[in-house]
Amino acid sequence: MLSNLITVSGQVITLFLMMIAGYCLGKTKLLPRSALPALTNVVVYLALPCMLIGAFEMEATSERVHGFLWVLAATVLVHGLNFAVAHFGIRDPDNGRKRVLVDCAVFSNCGFMGYPLLASLMGDTGLFYGSAYNLVFTTLLWTAGISYLQHRKGPLRLRNLILNPGIIGMALGFSVFLLQIQLPPVLETTVDYLGNVAISLPMLIIGCQLAHADLKKLLHDRWSWVAAGLRLLARAFGRRLVFWAHDHDVYCPRRYYYTPFGRRNCARACSRFRCAGCALLASPRNWQGGGIAGQLGFLLRDAPRRLDILRETGTVVISDFMRNNLLRNGFREENIHLLSPFIRVEPEARRPEPAPELRLLFLGQLLRGKGCDLFLEMLRALGGPFRAVIAGDGNDRAGLEAMSRAFGFGERVRFLGWCGRPEELFAEADAAVFPFRWQEPFGLCGLEAAAHGVPVVAFDLGGVREWLIDGVTGIAVKPFDGKAMAAAVARLRDSAGLRREMGANGRRLAAERFSEERFLAGFGRLCGGSA
């Protein structure tokens, strides 16, 4: 047993050493990449058939004939069972993709590598019985395999099967075996020499291919590694692979679903070249890294590949708005699961008495998409006494502060920067205003305001309608209409009763529709557990 293990290990090491030799030849350019197709043809069309003919040069005993037939029958049975398991076990609603997966599960590349391994490890006996396996394999591949893949009925085209070099080599070898043909010494020696090439040359070719392959690029193909790793984990734990689509970067390489052409929101499905052109106009600080080349690589290769991968996974969205965006981008409805976020509704704090001036709150990043400049313009159009607090930070802060000074707001508008405890701000606010330019996937800040009993005024964009019920929990305003937003805020300013009513409705909505218990129940259903 030990001696057999040592022998097999030695043969395997020999094969790997030949691959290393091919790798060195490729790296030193002694064996150029352009030569590999020609060398492969030498192996397939000459060396392999000669190796098979040489392997059949043995005595035709009844034991060998029966063994050959048994291998034929066993191979038919194994492939039949393999096909049945793959056909019924692979559950994919896309029939075309399912046929491809089934064929990949049933058929392998057992000729180019299989024969050299058999010859190296088991000699002519291994080749003799291995050819029986390959005869069935090749026949099924070029008949039933092609027919299943193309999903067609009718007569089969057997030209590729008949002209297959492996089949030709087996036919000639089997004829030599059955008829006990004794090749002339010169021809026998030539066949043996050419057959030996089929062991060493494939290893050299594989090594050279590795040398010329961009292994760094292969290893850095993050999305292939991510997809493979996640799927393996999902299968290992018997769970579905689910992706949480929180933002637009699932289908928008620019991430904001906002086009610089006319500075308007997008409503189109992702297109590789159109979206690449749009994303290139984004600020370089938002690029993926690697300069223009790295950005182009991400836009034209990584982003489409990522989207293709995510289309095949279960996807969790936080709003119906996001669900519709995924459907627009080719996601299947049965793979999309709505799971809204939750918010803890704390006991209602004692709110300060109504003040002479309206107290307004803006909460969010100080970026163009968040619309803080529109908030300042609304304040200028509002008129009457007010005080406004702007909580947040971002690249536009300096410009917004200058804008506030230019409008003459003075101490009426305060910039607090990032705030770790917005609860205190909600407790002192009469209303919260969210003039977002971009389409918020949900708008969690608005839900937080509602949960604290603060009525909300926001543009009717994106996923805000998940929690903003116009006239009930706040006021939804026509997008980008500054006058309409000022009128909505004035309406709240003029009616303390309306503010209290909308605030109470917001707290009730948050407690009923966005509770932690409801979220956990939905998460349990998603994971396949009990609700």
Q: How is the chain split into domains, by residue range?
A: 2-213, 223-338, 358-518
The answer for residues whose C-beta is within 8 angstroms of residue 307's C-beta and 6 or more apart is 250, 251, 270, 329
Q: Give the residue carrying structure tokens 């049975």.
A: 77
Predicted TM-score of the model (pTM):
0.55
- Pair of tokens at residue 392: 């947040």
139-192 residue pLDDT tens: 777 677 767 766 555 455 556 566 667 677 777 877 877 778 877 888 888 888
How many Å apart are CA 172 and CA 170, to the nearest integer?
5
Say which CATH class 358-518 falls into.
alpha beta
Q: Which of 169-173, 212-216, 452-456, 523-527 has the lowest mean pLDDT?
A: 212-216
487-517 residue pLDDT tens: 999 999 888 889 989 999 999 998 888 888 8
The torsion region of residue 263 among left (phi > 0), alpha (psi -120 to 50) and beta comes to left
Per-residue confidence (pLDDT) for residue 339, from 0 to 100 = 85
Per-residue confidence (pLDDT) for residue 172, from 0 to 100 = 81
Continuous H helices in 383-465: 397-406, 422-428, 444-451
> Pairing between strand 386-391 and 413-417?
parallel
What average pLDDT score do residues 296-304 get?
A: 72
- Cβ–Cβ < 8 Å for 261, 278: yes
- Cβ–Cβ < 8 Å for 506, 456: yes
What average pLDDT score do residues 313-325 get?
A: 85
How many Å apart are CA 466 and CA 442, to the nearest integer?
7
More confident residue, 236 or 311: 311
More confident residue, 224 or 253: 253
Identify the helix (H) or strand (E) that includes residue 380: helix 372-382
How many Å apart are CA 436 and CA 454, to the nearest integer?
18
Task: Specify the DSSP class assigned to residue 514.
Answer: S
Q: How many CB atoms lie within 10 A of CB 484?
A: 17
More confident residue, 224 or 507: 507
* Cα 477 off chain centre by: 36
Task: Say whether pLDDT at 361 is over 90.
Answer: yes
pLDDT > 90: what percent of the chain? 11
At residue 50, the 3 state secondary structure works out as helix
More confident residue, 86 or 412: 412
- Pair of tokens at residue 85: 């398991």
Identify the helix (H) or strand (E) that includes residue 474: strand 474-477
How many Å apart are CA 276 and CA 270, to the nearest integer?
10
